[in-house]
Amino acid sequence: MKTIDNFNFAGKKVLVRVDFNVPLDDQFKITDDTRIRAALPTIHKILNDKGAVILMSHLGRPKDGPSEKYSLKHLVTPLSALLQKPVQFANDCIGEQAMKAAIGLKAGEVLLLENLRFHKEEEKGDPDFAKKLSQLVNNDNKGNGFYVNDAFGTAHRAHASTAIIARFFPEAKCFGYVMSSELTNADRVIKNAVKPFTAILGGAKVSDKIVILEQLIGKADNIIIGGGMAFTFIRAQGGHIGSSLLENERLDNALKIIREAKEKGVKLFLPVDAVIADKFSNEASRKTVAADAIPEGWMGLDIGEASQKEFAGVIAASKTILWNGPMGVFEMDHFESGTKAVALALAEATKKGAYSLIGGGDSVAAINKFGLASSVSYVSTGGGALLEYFESGTLPGIEAINFS
């Protein structure tokens, strides 16, 4: 793995692909700066080496070109505060203004480019667009340009800035600290897990987790399934789930996974009880019933206390733990208990020596909500990328650095 520690950036202009896709409120204020903070060590390494940093990222999913809502200019002030130095801004990521700013950038300075996805060519993986981006640092024919990919959250996309651009830096490219840390920690779970290995999967849909479930059946000792997706498994076995989430087209998949887990000696845990509600609201009437005996007109929105106790016991006996997806609608205070119980069990297991990896947007949001991010081993910044890495063993953004 070619990482940022293998290079000295003195006199270099470094184009860094970061993942600054952060949430903004109606006033364009950042509500969670986790991804920006994660990129700071990479930026500091280059600056400390006396290099110049040009940052490029996407923000949201703009559909029709530039817009105020998705402009990265809103990140300039908070980024400057975090870096404790002024950050310059280019109102485009290519073109005359961006090139002028890049050429004028001096060692120790930072330039942030405008949203890459304001150009449709970014998501199309357009080589000409990638070349224009590369020329921001490869413009003096002195070989001082360098490319660093530190955006694990988008490494599963073959976009211009994450995969295609690397071909314009045959030798001058590497992973930043976020990318290298993500890969090291992912490999620790999927390739070198200390047994017993427990995978906890939650969230709404079985369809989102089919492939990772199939992969984990060959690797994990225990698989815990919670959240809305659990009800498809319960219904597949003849249980009554009321108005709970159900993917009818995935019932056969659920039965296949149950069968394969049994054949391979993997213990599969489903909720035994559920906190149910008569409507999807924090203020709904609620009660706890058996997870396979939910009456019509009611829906499961969390796991119950018996499930929490059973899952916590499995977690406590584990040496390696992967958590992807909440146990219920944790955003609502009345249905956060199951997800909180899992988070607390993970923190306790970690304290006693287990290795715990948290991956996926909702799981990260949950661990942060309960103030436990510092109590687990590693919190991944890339949900979809992490799952795809587990599924395929590589990603376009990784291939671009290692093999292009």
| Contacts with 248 (C-beta within 8 Å, 6 or more apart), sequence order | none
Any long-range contacts for 105-109 (C-beta under 8 Å, 24+ apart)?
Answer: 105/13, 105/52, 105/54, 106/52, 107/10, 107/11, 107/50, 107/51, 107/52, 108/47, 108/50, 108/52, 109/52, 109/53
SS3 state of residue 205: coil
Q: How far apart are CA 151 and CA 78, in angstroms?
A: 19
The strand order across the sheet containing 299-303 reads 286-290, 273-277, 299-303
Catalytic, 328? Answer no
Q: Of 54, 141, 138, whose CA–CA distance to 101 is shortest?
A: 54
Residue type, 264: K
Considering the candidates 60, 108, 239, 361, report the single residue annotated as catalytic: 361
Catalytic, 142? Answer no
Considering the candidates 12, 13, 35, 117, report the single residue annotated as catalytic: 35
Considering the candidates 2, 50, 131, 205, report the single residue annotated as catalytic: 205
Structure tokens at 395: 């990603």
SS3 state of residue 119: coil
| Contacts with 112 (C-beta within 8 Å, 6 or more apart), sequence order | 55, 72, 75, 76, 79, 87, 88, 89, 90
Catalytic, 384? Answer yes
Give the CB-side neighbour count of residue 384, counting CA atoms within 13 A: 7
Catalytic residues: 35, 205, 361, 384
